[in-house]
Amino acid sequence: MVSRPHVARKRFGQHFLSDPAIIDAIVRAIDPRPGQPVVEIGPGLAALTQPLVERLGRLTVIELDRDLAERLRRHPQLRVVESDVLKVDFAQLADSLGAPKLRVVGNLPYNISSPILFHLLGQVEVVEDQHFMLQKEVIDRMVAQPATAAYGRLSVMLQWRYAMEDVLFVPPEAFEPPPRVDSAVVRMRPLAQPPAVDVALLSQLVQVAFSQRRKLLRHTLGAWMQQHDRHADFDLQRRAEEVPVAQYVALAQALAPR
């Protein structure tokens, strides 16, 4: 009996990697070593999974698609977690693997890439590093520097906690079916000594600051601080994109309740 080919499902944002040269370049960027606790998000048709497991010996994969999860379970070296990744407790997963920290990799569905990144940010203590393929436009925002058009909330919220690097460009023709956008691979390493900050407060400040990015901060952040009776020595005569990550973090620290 021949198994039917899997048809990519639009609702899961499925685009399967199929270019051998690109796959090899991604695996080399990840540099997996035998026995390392690696977790792959959205393995799909196992294009990346197979070369990874060949180097690792064992691999844990998280797959939402029931049909794909069933196929993956037939692979003797895979541990399959059939779940929505946004519901996965990575600390629990690390514990079950007997590992203090996990290496996380994956070709993330473009329609929910930001929620996945923020879900992992909340569990960053158990992450050694992350290598993700994403829409290039998203990675441009993740690694953007101040005073650039791509710099925004995503840049600040990730850069306060990770050192990030855009490591590889991936063209649409590397996928089946080809997406309508360019892709790239990002490397994210949690900072060893990140600044202590109230993450919820930082997130709120950054969201307010970038809510009207063309206006000076006195109209957005300044009004918010006044409304909440919070004061700090901070230059509000700038636009949100002109403020470096460290200054947003310092403001959140200054405004935190004593």
Residue-level pLDDT at 199: 95
The answer to whether 111 is a known ligand-binding residue is no
The answer to whether 219 is a known ligand-binding residue is no
pLDDT of residue 36 exceeding 90? yes
The answer to whether 54 is a known ligand-binding residue is no
- What are the structural domains of the chain? 10-190 (3.40.50.150), 199-255 (1.10.8.100)
Classified as helix, coil or strand, 58 is: coil
The answer to whether 17 is a known ligand-binding residue is yes
**pLDDT tens, residue by residue, 170-196:** 999 999 889 899 999 999 999 999 999
The answer to whether 42 is a known ligand-binding residue is yes
Residue-level pLDDT at 7: 45
Q: Judge contact between 90 and 102, C-beta under 8 A.
A: yes
Which long-range contacts link 111-117 to residues 24+ away (Cβ below 8 Å)? 111/13, 112/13, 112/86, 113/138, 114/138, 114/154, 115/86, 116/41, 116/85, 116/86, 117/142, 117/154, 117/158
Q: How far is CA 210 from the centre of its chain?
A: 20
Mean pLDDT within 227-242: 95
Phi-psi category of 155—alpha, beta or left, where left has phi over 0 and alpha has psi -120 to 50? Answer: alpha
CB atoms within 10 A of CB 27: 18
Rg (CA), the chain: 20
Residue-level pLDDT at 111: 84
Q: From CA 134, how far away is CA 109, in angstroms rounded?
A: 8
The answer to whether 75 is a known ligand-binding residue is no
Q: Judge contact between 64 and 85, C-beta under 8 A.
A: yes
